[in-house]
Structure 1
Amino acid sequence: DRDREEIVTRQLEAVGLPPALFGDRRPHQLSGGQAQRVAIARALAAGPRVLIADEAVSALDVSAQATVLNLLRDLTEERGLAGLFISHDLGVVRAVSDEVAVLQLGRICERGPTEAVLAAPAHPYTAALLAAVPEPGRPLRDTGLLPADPPSPLAPPSGCRFRTRCPLADSRCATEEPRPREVAPGRTVACHRPLVGAAEA
């Protein structure tokens, strides 16, 4: 009906897809980036206050990633939306997030302003993730992880979930699960031995 056509037209225009060209296309007729934009348009059609994007650009090439990331940033700002962006790509996280929460086996191990966390991580797991990111023209860096298989999320280790791979782990880490504590204004870390200055527990 006409109302539906108006909604489709408005949403396609919002994500930069001309309705005359894309209004009647089927999924197999879209590129990866176009399909992601249609998915965003569909999510926004209900007028949400929060937009959750789970690995929204992981299957796209770099050019399409940039287009979709810019679109997400612009739409959340224009519409006053809160955005929750889930990604394993720290470069993507830096591009779209004001704040970051790093999860390890389902628990938040560190959170804070994105630039502060990525510039000087407080948790050894965050530091290892950053060390694992390849940089053009530089040899791969040592992550510092102990040589062990990652633990199963179905049967996590006692105490700190990261302790079996953490180079800083001690006996306390095996028996006591670390609780989040503030290590800097607006920054928390769940670690008995954080990498930035913190008061002793």
Structure 2
Amino acid sequence: MGSSARTGPETVAGRKGRETRRRILDAVEKRCLEVHHREITVGEIARSAQVSPATFYTYFPDVVAATAEVAQRHLDMFAPVVHAASELADPDVDEQDYQDFVGLFYEFWRGRRGLLETIIASEVEEDPRYFRVLLRLMMSVTYALAPAVRTGHRVGVAGSLVMMLTSSAARIDGFARDGVPFDDLIASQAFILRAALQASAD
């Protein structure tokens, strides 16, 4: 008898398990992109994913473990921002290149306010399972930007600029209320970034 694909109960259970896990992660993702992870409860995730709280705990020990996995997904999506940062080390970059980088940075965080809030409001006791993923994300763009620094400690300057952009990204709505259009905010941040990176030692 020739070989055939297994379709018994074990395979079906496996498929069902993967689908259940995916639904839980999708529900976690929806919430943690909107709010700080400390505001998320197992109960609301279970209701959204249409599973019981006990089922949630079958797949994840707690909310932090699930949000850390979601954050890892988004770390992979950050690659275009990191690439744009690395391009600024090219001596032929112009104002548009700086604006493109700032624009990509802001657009990435625009739909991820919960993750952004975690970075801005992080504390010493922040659970490392979750925060270290976000820290890797921020360090990736810092180290990509560092070669473009001409004066001063490269990582120190690059990290300071990244935190400036991060804080500004968290206040986009506030800038708008203060009468600063989004395009003008990008241009302003690009101007500061370019001035800092291209500063001469003398």
What TM-score comes out, normalization by structure 1 length? 0.34
What TM-score comes out, normalization by structure 2 length? 0.33
| More strand, by proportion | 1
| More helix, by proportion | 2
